[in-house]
Amino acid sequence: MPDWITHILIPWTFFTILGFKFKQFSQQNIAVVIMGALVPDIFKIYLVLNQIGIHVEDFFTPIHSPVGSILIASIISLFFIERRLIFIFLVLGISTHYALDLLLFNGGMYLLYPFNPVKWQIGIISVTDYNITIVSIVAALVVYSIYKTVNHRHNLAE
């Protein structure tokens, strides 16, 4: 935990629930939030590069820090017309990523990088514990079925 499945399903579930009340959280905007939730893990590209003999872990590590992730989010948002809105939704996704990563022990995040290279963690969940992944899958399935039912009824009413 938290693997990519969890990093995708938790923000999707949370913001879909919010979408019942707030129209800003449309499925298109939630897709941007999910992209943001995956931004901090872009640094894992170093694993592929290590396999072909290019060792650049120190170059990519800052991406898995709030400063690096927000920098990447600002670069991504430049490719959209509604830059500010896209940036906000990307940062919401990044925030969910770090909220999940803070729960880990033997994991964590570089909260104050580059000023302090210490990994921060609360230590509630083990990296090898997949119970939260199972819970996030079940919660997403429940919210998805409610979402489909509500949308179906809404379409019938029109």
pTM (predicted TM-score): 0.86
Residues 101/125, Cβ–Cβ less than 8 Å: no
27: nearest Cα among 9, 8, 12, 10? 12
pLDDT tens by residue, 72-117: 999 999 999 999 999 999 999 999 999 888 888 776 677 777 787 7
121: nearest Cα among 108, 133, 134? 108
1: nearest Cα among 106, 84, 140? 106
- CA dist 103 and 41 (Å) reads 16
